[in-house]
Amino acid sequence: MRKTAIFKDDLFLMHDPGPNHPERIDRLRVIYDFIEKPEHRKKFVFPDFGPADLGHLEKNHGEALIRRVADTSGRRYDYLDQDTATSAQSYEAALLAAGAVISGVDLLLEGEIDNGFALVRPPGHHAERDRAMGFCLFNNIAVAAWHAAVGHNLERIMIIDWDLHHGNGTQFSFYDTSTVLYLSTHQFPYYPGTGALQETGIGEGEGYTVNIPLPGGFGDHEYAAIFNDIVIPVGRAYQPELILVSAGFDIYHGDPLGSMSVGPAGFAYMTRALLGLAEDVCRGRLLVTLEGGYNLKGQRDGALAVLSELLGGPLTDDDSEFYLDDATAAQFINSHNSHDAIGRAIEAAGSHWNI
């Protein structure tokens, strides 16, 4: 079994966007309730971590946004846009969420853990330099990637974003640099409206944004084909020193905000494929960060499938429910798909990468 870290804290349950908001507390609680069972908890390590400081945030966000989010502290409710609401402890939770991912980067690069999963709220990949949006306050994964680049002098960091929605904030954080390769699968056209094939970066960053816009209805085998034919080959060509994942479970079949059809086996295979890439190119350095997901069963089962793969075995000795069996894995390994959307994405990526 690998030394897999889980980054969790009850403060993440204190961020409350309000009644009937999709980004509700239970999205995280259903995962926490499972991993807190003694038979599951003993399999993982739970590192201590603290909040991101202003120096970390300022590498990715402007002063005005940081101040605006800080101003929500102590207020019962505040609205940063029509979708993005805060409560009294949301600012503190957002600082800690970014801090969790930063800590994960540090522990990975120091060799203290094999991999990890930051089970945090609020999510982050929509937050831009000067704008909170899409339920996101600060961009957790982008802040941590800048920390890896500036604080640890990494030159090649790969971010894979399989959330239903395009991570506009993460894309634009690194749109003009080759230090971070950003690769996103997402339903398109859909919120937030970015993520077209033609968005590939500018200047030094040309080719280091790889967008894979997809119609609804794609399931396990289609996503396996995308990873087999695009994600992993591009990763091998790039040779990252660190791999970060924005894991959105809103591509689960039955999620109320989307129309994809991925199940636990699909999430497991994507994770296993990335683990294999990480083992080959960057000493296994893989850190997953929670983004979206609004069907509670899909949120729980998807996260547990990812954790099983990170760990390298079933969560309990007598339960392999969330661990990908060899026969299914073999089917996914052989998945290739001629769907027009995948073909166009292969062609677009192939104009920059030898895949």
Per-residue pLDDT reduced to its tens digit, 307-327: 999 999 988 766 677 889 889
Distances (CA, A) of 347 to 22, 161, 214, 270: 36, 20, 14, 21
- Taking only the tens place, the pLDDT of each residue in 142-193 is 999 999 999 999 999 999 999 999 999 999 999 999 999 999 999 999 999 9
Q: Which amino acid is at 138?
A: F
Cβ neighbours of residue 329 closer than 8 Å, sequence gap 6 or more: 269, 272
Return the CATH number of 4-350, one of 3.40.800.20, 3.30.70.120, 3.40.50.720, 3.40.50.12780.
Answer: 3.40.800.20
The whole-number pLDDT of residue 317 equals 67
pLDDT for the residue 318: 64
Domain ranges of the chain: 4-350
**CA dihedral (156, 157, 158, 159) positive or negative:** negative
Q: Which of 115, 180, 67 is nearest to 311 (CA)?
A: 115
Structure tokens at 277: 């890439």
Q: Which residues are catalytic?
A: 126
Name residue 162's amino acid.
Answer: W
Q: Checking DSSP bridges between strand 242-247 and strand 286-290, what pairing results, if any?
A: parallel
Task: State residue 322's pLDDT score.
Answer: 84
Q: Under a CB-based contact definition with an 8 Å cutoff, are residues 132 and 81 in contact?
A: yes
